[in-house]
Amino acid sequence: MTIEPSGFSVSTVVIGLLLLGLGGGKLPGERSPAGTAPSAKILVAHRGASAYAPEHTLEAYRLALQHGADYIEPDLQLTRDGVLICLHDPTLERTTNVSEAFPDRHRLSVKNGQPVKQWFASDFTLEEIRRLDAGAWFGERFRGARIPTFEEVIQEVRGKAGLFPELKNVDWYRDQGFDLERRFVETLRKYELHRKGADPRTPVMVQSFGADSLRRLASEFELDLPLIQLIGGDTRLSPETLREIRKFASGIGPAKNLLLQNPAVILWAHELGLSVIPYTFRASALDQGFDTVREEMSYFLYTLDVDGLFTDHPDQFPRQAPSGPPPGR
């Protein structure tokens, strides 16, 4: 199957990769994330091994380490008392029993014209959040799992893999009177992880959808770490857009569909020294033309030549290119 938006096709770009000698290698310079070897592909365990254990629990992170993850991805939110916790949503109801434990502590929102009860993490102290069950929703054997703090995850992962935290809802927290970026940098400094190479066994890359947030980390806080600009699936990218991103970031994290629609983005990014680490690869959301998540990951890694990827299935990550012709669709 060939996808041809904006005048480009997968086959055309693959031929270009081969002619440039990029099919299995790397351009020199910045696009070896966090100092990895030039030929390495980066495995980021998305919310831990979240296909097999409840996301953002120590159980999911530990399983990802067993599966050989290069990086663990904790999404960061804040409690009422200003503690960084690992949680994807700003609210607690999807992945905990908060509606049972604290039935009256919700806010009322309106979605699609209907009132919705929401329990925001920033309305609860860490001590209260520690009472919540963050595992039973996923499976009975995980009953009793808890939401960990960012510090607990650092302590669990350090020396075993890298950390790839995402700063979530920064502007929303600022409106609530919180400075998530400052608390994040303070935590990294506490553990001496705020500089490239500070702990070679635990490299750190930082990601956010907020360009202003990444700029602030680089300028105001002088954070000396690779910064990755996340890009949503409905964004139109151009060489000019990527040049702007390159002024403050060392890589992009695009939704994978963007790269299928326009694989030239990878060439443009690599020419600028930007790493390309798309999200999210999971068996429940395969793109058309792929039978398994391993096949899809292999195509992106060794045909399109992305530098790494985020996946819920770290055990399926293909460490080597398949023998024979590059994987196709």
Query: Which segments of the chain are extended strands (E)?
Result: 42-46, 71-73, 75-78, 84-86, 107-111, 114-118, 162-163, 166-167, 206-208, 227-231, 251-254, 275-276, 308-311
Q: What is the pLDDT of residue 329?
A: 66
As beta bridge partners, residue 281 has 311
Residue 114 CB partners (closer than 8 Å, separation 6+):
none
Q: What is the pLDDT of residue 16?
A: 43
Contact 90, 120 (CB under 8 A): yes
Contact 102, 164 (CB under 8 A): no
Q: What is the pLDDT of residue 27?
A: 31
Q: Beta-carbon neighbour count of residue 188 at 10 Å?
A: 22
Nearest by Cα to 147 from 83, 96, 71, 72: 96
pTM: 0.88
SS3 29: coil
Q: What is the pLDDT of residue 323?
A: 80
* The CATH homologous superfamily of the domain defined by 5-90+147-316: Phosphatidylinositol (PI) phosphodiesterase (3.20.20.190)
The DSSP annotation for 290-307 comes to -SSHHHHHHHHHHTS--S
Residue 251 CB partners (closer than 8 Å, separation 6+):
30, 31, 33, 205, 226, 227, 228, 229, 269, 274, 275, 276, 277, 307
Tokens 């956010």 found at: 208
Going residue by residue through the chain, which has 329 residues, state the pLDDT in tens, using 9 for 90 and above. Answer: 322 333 334 444 443 443 333 333 333 234 544 433 345 899 999 999 999 999 999 999 999 999 999 999 999 999 999 999 999 999 999 999 999 999 999 999 998 999 999 999 999 999 999 999 999 999 999 999 999 999 999 999 999 999 999 999 999 999 999 999 999 999 999 999 999 999 999 999 999 999 999 999 999 999 999 999 999 999 999 999 999 999 999 999 999 999 999 999 999 999 999 999 999 999 999 999 999 999 999 999 999 999 999 999 999 999 999 887 666 66
Q: How far is CA 116 from CA 91, 107, 109, 111, in A?
A: 12, 8, 5, 7
ω into 280 cis (within 30 of 0): yes
- CA dihedral (75, 126, 63, 39) positive or negative: positive
d(CA 295, CA 280): 14
Q: What is the pLDDT of residue 325?
A: 66
